Amino acid sequence: MGLVLAVDIGGTNSRFAAFESGPGHQLVMKETVWLSSVEAKSFGHLMEMLAESEFPYSPSDFDVTVIAVAGPVIGGVYCNVTNVDWEVDFREGYKKYGFNAAVLINDFAAQAYACRTPAVEGCRVIHGADISPTGTVGVIGAGTGLGHCALVPVPVSELGYVPVPSEAGHVSFPCQTAEELDFCKFVMDRRKISYCCGDEVLTGRGLTVLHLYLTGEELEPRMVAEKMKQGGKTLEWYSRFMARCCRNYAISVCATGGLYIAGGIAAKNPFVVEQLVFLEEFLESSSMGDFLKQIPVFLNDNQESGLYGAALRGVLHI
């Protein structure tokens, strides 16, 4: 039995959880605390905030700490965290933070690992199909950013799978009509960026800009989400755009092991992926339609799943 500190640092919140591990990669969550990533001035400051919180453990209490961060992880020791103004840097070691051992992984690698934990047991089925036990698992999710990761079968590995992180949220957005191209130009002009990507469309700030473009009304993301509950064009466009990005990623990684939709937007507003337009767009492909019908799609609305995934990575380290 070991003790793992799982940390999931997003652009909005940083989540911490203590896990006990048991035989067969079993995980038991003991204590959790959520802190504001925005209020933290640095990773060191975030750890000071943890020490001042009601979390009943110190970093030195754990056999290993696994930190999942939004952004590309370089060499397992460095990440300039996306959507916050600081970095996590272990290039000169991690002992100064009190860790006995530390592992740095991408936040959606943690979401991918979570697909092999109890965190996904309550997932909603969006598109029913048989899961291929030897198929690649795809994970995609929108919140402060648009994350992607594949879990690829590697039988010789301890878990049987290895994560393959992606920064596909930063590739060019797949517009298909003149009106959609006009919207992307609107995003580029408003954000003063050279091209439009999923990170600018499907995230919280994307909701604000999409609703502004379609209605002329500028609202905070949570207010846009509230309005979408009543239907309307913003919901239709957002659901179609989300489905299109899901379809593209599912095809790219051949996600016959299932495509899991994570992230705060769908978790808090499940109706965006339960619209008929979502399923129609996901299955729409003149060349890959039959293949897409074989890919099961799930909504993972467990907002602590990244912690479970990070904890599983920690168990593999012990």
What's the pLDDT at 1?
74
Query: Cα(92)–Cα(15) distance, rounded to whole angstroms?
Result: 24
Mean pLDDT of 271-275: 98
pLDDT level of residue 83 (50, 70, 90 thresholds): confident
What phi and psi values does residue 206 have, to the nearest 5 degrees?
A: -65, -40
pLDDT in tens, 163-217: 999 999 999 999 999 999 999 999 999 999 999 999 999 999 999 999 999 999 9
What's the pLDDT at 22?
86
Q: Is the pLDDT of residue 82 over 90?
A: no
**Check whether domain 2-118+303-317 has CATH 1.10.260.40, yes or no:** no
What's the pLDDT at 24?
82
What phi and psi values does residue 185 have, to the nearest 5 degrees?
A: -65, -40
- Structural fold of domain 123-299: Hexokinase; domain 1 (3.40.367)
What's the pLDDT at 11?
81
Under 8 Å between Cβ of 259 and 298? yes
What's the pLDDT at 21?
92
* Paired residues of 262 in beta bridges: 141
Neighbour tally for 252: CB within 10 Å: 14
Query: Cα(26)–Cα(11) distance, rounded to whole angstroms?
Result: 29
Listed by start position, the domains of the chain span: 2-118+303-317, 123-299
Mean pLDDT of 54-71: 96
